[in-house]
Amino acid sequence: MKILILTHRVPFPQNGGYPIVVCNTIRGLVNLGHEVSLVALNAKKYNHHENNEDDNDLLSKIKYRAFDIDINVSVFEVAVNLFSKTSFNIDRYYSHEFERLLVRELRNTTFDIIQFEGLLVSLYLGAVRKNSKAKLIYRAHNIENQIWERLSQQKSDPFKKSYLKMHAKRIKNYELQQLNNFDGIAVFTEQDKATLMEYGTKIPIEILAMGINLEHYKPDFSKTDFPTLFFLGSLDWLPNREGIEWFLENFHKELTEGDLRVRFYVAGNDIPERFDDYEVMGKIFIQGEVDDALEFLNSKSIMIVPLLSSGGMRVKIVEGMAMQKCIISTSLGAEGINYENNVNILIANNQDEFYEAIKICIADEAFCRYIGLNARKLVEEQHDVNKVTKNLVSFYETVI
């Protein structure tokens, strides 16, 4: 099949959940012999990188085009948007020039499948439908309005709560308008499928797990420092930022002066400068973006995922499981993964539960190894990219 993938950001480097999912999907499709094209919006803040060997290998096997777009919004534009019926968080990804580039691509090549990776590229659904006879698949990385609604529920400030609720409502209205205009929808979790069904979605919806290339995940315990506690994730994604801020606010004293005698590392891209205030020499380390995420994962022992508002599936949890990490997550953070609490992950949904889980883990390396080993088995069974991609292609075949 000829398959076109549309993304709202360039998935290189593969330093976050979205690019990892996109690139693994493309790699799986290529390995199965399909001809893949990638057309990506390149938001200005993502365009500073050098391709690594893995990126270049994948790029050599596909047709690829990127279009620069500035998604920055002025204070004036935010103020004007208050009186609009749409959310600037979506509108800022629309570009007439990109739409023309996309139309040219569609007129030059006949595709069997066009996959929209997330809600932000659905802005171009109308243009694609007019200029292609391909079947259109929407992959819902998250139910976007749920993220904003859950963020609003965490706010005590009445203005912030109202503002976030307004955007949640507008984004939900937009999602409802778009969903039935596709030929099929792929989701990561049973919960997301149930939500879309509640929204009145009539088209086929398939649950497809997030797949990773297991060959890239090779734990080396001789290089793992125990006990160490860590968080790894992009803080330009609001749920990540909110979750780690909650954790640092609630556990800063316990980690620096209390009973939790373990070094804590925070790593990921786009960490705000204000996070430096949390750093305490020898105890809390705000590292920022790391050169090699898997090397960093391997070097630390206990992973926390304190997500309070989200949806979809957390890629970093699946990666952590593949690296045999002992992971402590909220049930919301682990949503969509067929975990068993205290067997292949530890679930903690409030401050007390996180405290007890951390206390147990830092005192018992054998228990952490047990959790990590079971986690790897789960990933091998359910998240191997080759198995997942075969299921995706089978879904394509049902809608063609």
List the structure tokens of 31: 């390995």
Answer yes or no: are the C-beta atoms of 141 and 118 closer than 8 Å.
Answer: yes
Which of 11-20, 105-114, 223-232, 320-329 comes out lowest in average pLDDT?
11-20
**pLDDT at 247 (0 to 100):** 97
Look at residue 47 and tell me whether its pLDDT is greater than 60: no
**pLDDT at 102 (0 to 100):** 95
**pLDDT at 156 (0 to 100):** 84
**pLDDT at 311 (0 to 100):** 61
By C-alpha distance, which of 184, 202, 190, 209 is closest to 143? Answer: 190
What mean pLDDT is predicted for residues 243-264?
Answer: 96
Give 45's pLDDT tier (boundaries 50, 70, 90).
low
Give 258's pLDDT tier (boundaries 50, 70, 90).
very high
Convert the pLDDT of each residue in 338-386 to its tens digit. Answer: 999 999 999 999 999 999 999 999 999 999 999 999 999 999 999 999 9
Q: How far apart are CA 37 and CA 57, in angstroms?
A: 15
**pLDDT at 153 (0 to 100):** 82
Which of 73-87, 115-129, 156-170, 386-400 comes out lowest in average pLDDT?
73-87
Convert the pLDDT of each residue in 294-312 to its tens digit. Answer: 999 999 999 999 998 766 5
- Which pTM value belongs to this model? 0.87
Instruction: Name the superfamily (CATH) of residues 2-210+385-399.
Output: Glycogen Phosphorylase B; (3.40.50.2000)
**pLDDT at 118 (0 to 100):** 95
List the structure tokens of 63: 């047709």
Look at residue 49 and tell me whether its pLDDT is greater than 60: no
Opening angle at CA 52, ends 47 and 58, nearest 5: 95
Q: 113 has which bridge partners?
A: 3, 135
What mean pLDDT is predicted for residues 179-198?
Answer: 94
**pLDDT at 44 (0 to 100):** 66
Q: In CATH terms, is domain 215-382 a member of 3.40.50.2000?
A: yes
User: Which of helix, strand or coil describes residue 260?
Assistant: coil
Look at residue 64 and tell me whether its pLDDT is greater than 90: yes
List the structure tokens of 168: 């949640």
Q: How many CB atoms lie within 10 A of CB 48?
A: 6
Helices 315-322 & 365-382 angle (0-180, nearest 10): 110
Give 46's pLDDT tier (boundaries 50, 70, 90).
low
Look at residue 143 and tell me whether its pLDDT is greater than 90: no
Look at residue 48 and tell me whether its pLDDT is greater than 60: no
Look at residue 77 and tell me whether its pLDDT is greater than 80: no
On the question of a common fold for 2-210+385-399 and 215-382, the answer reads yes
By C-alpha distance, which of 268, 271, 319 is closest to 298? Answer: 319
**pLDDT at 254 (0 to 100):** 96
Mean pLDDT, all residues of the chain: 92
What mean pLDDT is predicted for residues 323-330?
Answer: 98
List the structure tokens of 276: 């430096």
Give 72's pLDDT tier (boundaries 50, 70, 90).
confident
Give 126's pLDDT tier (boundaries 50, 70, 90).
very high
Long-range contacts of 240-249 (CB under 8 A, 24+ apart): 240/268, 240/307, 241/272, 242/151, 242/154, 242/308, 242/309, 243/305, 243/306, 243/307, 243/308, 243/309, 243/330, 243/333, 244/306, 246/154, 246/306, 246/308, 247/304, 247/306, 247/354, 248/275, 248/278, 248/284
Answer yes or no: are the C-beta atoms of 125 and 153 closer than 8 Å.
Answer: no
Structural domain boundaries of the chain? 2-210+385-399, 215-382
Compute and round to an integer the Cα radius of gyration of the chain.
21
Which of 16-25, 145-154, 201-210, 344-353 comes out lowest in average pLDDT?
145-154
Convert the pLDDT of each residue in 195-236 to its tens digit. Answer: 999 999 999 999 999 999 999 999 999 999 999 999 999 888
Look at residue 82 and tell me whether its pLDDT is greater than 80: no
**pLDDT at 283 (0 to 100):** 97
Look at residue 243 and tell me whether its pLDDT is greater than 70: yes
Look at residue 121 and tell me whether its pLDDT is greater than 90: yes
Q: How far apart are CA 42 and CA 85, in angstroms?
A: 26
What mean pLDDT is predicted for residues 145-168?
Answer: 84
